[in-house]
Amino acid sequence: MKARFFGQHLLSKGLITAPQLLAAVEYQNRNNNKLGEFAVDRGLATAFEVEQIRALQTREDRLFGEAAISLGILSPGQVSELVETQRDAHLELGQALTELGYMDCPEVERAAAEFLTEEAQRQPDVVTLPQDLPDREIAFEVFYLANRLLLRACDLVSKTEPVRVMPSPVPLSDRNAGIEVSGAHQCMLLVGLPHDIAASTAGRFSGELAPDEAAIDGVVLELVHLLADNLRSVLAERGRRLHLSNAQRLRTPLLLQADRAMTIVPFVTHQGQVLVGMSVAASEQTEAATDSTQSV
């Protein structure tokens, strides 16, 4: 996401075009090798062994290095060596832009310095969570990440309304997607965008002036995946594993299980209201409290 945020910064300043950003990201993806590819190149594993490692990753949601060590294919020292090699060889977005001839090095350095200065000065909006909200810790992370990631991906500045704890059925926005989370926590994440925000975001990412319906729905699916993936990374650092389903489009009012409610934060922007939600254990409380000590 740092690459995408920097890319959005470059777009907003008119330093590159949307097709150039997409081309640079694709160039990065082609030139940044995965750990398995480095292992094969260095003769530490065969292609078949890498497939075994990846299969275990899929089954048990492990990191590549963890899976390789548990199978006895790589040692901890070899994994550390591969991670260092991957880090040293990683192609940054600015490098991709210069190698493709879209910017020169001084332009990238000036833009990066400006971007980092703006990021350091940016203050997140505040979301106050009810004191007795179930799953409050994970809700805090969800709404913090939503403010830090989703709104920036959509190039939006927002103000937040009070948290709403809503029983089923949950009203939705124009374009909505949900993803089921299991493992250390059980919940559903929801992202809902007005049509104009979804369309403009899809247009920036695709480079199309008039993105089609599939592209507009697709960007909402991508955003809820982005939120869930970052949540999984944050909790993994605390030793908590999450498993994610495939994101699904939601086109009708959302019906929850009888023991669940939906906590929703409306992010109010100049283009409309972005909804971010997380299902929690149902309780008698349906109104947002304002005396919380934990805020986003």
Return the bridge partners of 164, or none. Answer: 264
Question: Could you tell me the pLDDT band of residue 35, with boundaries at 50, 70 and 90?
Answer: confident
Q: What's the per-residue H, E or C state across 114-142?
A: HHHHHHHHCCCCCCECCCCCCCHHHHHHH
Cα–Cα distance between 186 and 279 in angstroms, integer?
8
Q: Give every CB contact of residue 142 below 8 A, 6+ residues apart in sequence.
A: 189, 227, 231, 276, 278
pTM score, whole prediction: 0.56
Q: Which two tokens stand for residue 272?
A: 């409309």
Could you read off the pLDDT of 276-293 as tens digits, one per residue? Answer: 999 888 764 444 333 333
Residues in the chain: 296
Closest CA to 224 of 133, 144, 150: 150
- Residues 66-91, mean pLDDT to the nearest whole number: 85
According to CATH, the topology of domain 136-281 is: Chemotaxis protein chec (3.40.1550)
Q: How distant, in Å, are the alpha carbons of 110, 142, 230 from that of 276?
A: 34, 8, 14
Of 69-78, 150-159, 196-205, least confident by mean pLDDT is 150-159
Domain extent listing, the chain: 2-121, 136-281
Torsion (CA) 279, 284, 285, 291 in degrees, nearest 10: -120
